Amino acid sequence: MNMMHGAVATDLDQTLVALADPTRRAIVQRLSRGEARVTDLAEPFAMSLNSVSKHIRMLERARLVRRRRVGREHVLSFDPRPLDEAAAWITAQQAAWGGRLRAMDEMLRAEDARAAESQAVREAGEARRTRETGETRETGEARRTRETRETRETRETRETGKTRSVQTRKRAAGAVRTGKGRAR
0.95 exceeded by pTM: no
Residue 24 shares a structural domain with residue 46: yes
Residue 17 shares a structural domain with residue 75: yes
* Overall domain count for the chain: 2
| Whether 83 contacts 64, CB under 8 Å | yes
Q: How confident is the model at residue 108 (pLDDT cuts 50, 70, 90)?
A: very high
Average predicted confidence (pLDDT) for the chain: 82
Tell which residue, 75, 79, 103, 70, has the closest CA to residue 28: 79
Using the Cα atoms of residue 94, residue 8, residue 19 and residue 84 in order, give the sign of their dihedral: negative
69 sits in which H/E element: strand 65-70
- The amino acid at 68: R
Q: For 53-71, what is each residue's pLDDT tens digit?
A: 999 999 999 999 999 998 8
Tell me the average pLDDT across 148-173: 66
Residue 18 shares a structural domain with residue 63: yes
Q: For 9-44, what is each residue's pLDDT tens digit?
A: 688 999 999 999 999 999 999 999 999 999 999 999
Phi, psi of 4 (to 5 degrees): -80, 145
Domain span holding position 93? 81-134
Using DSSP's 3-state secondary structure scheme, residue 37 falls into strand
* CATH number, domain with residue 21: 1.10.10.10
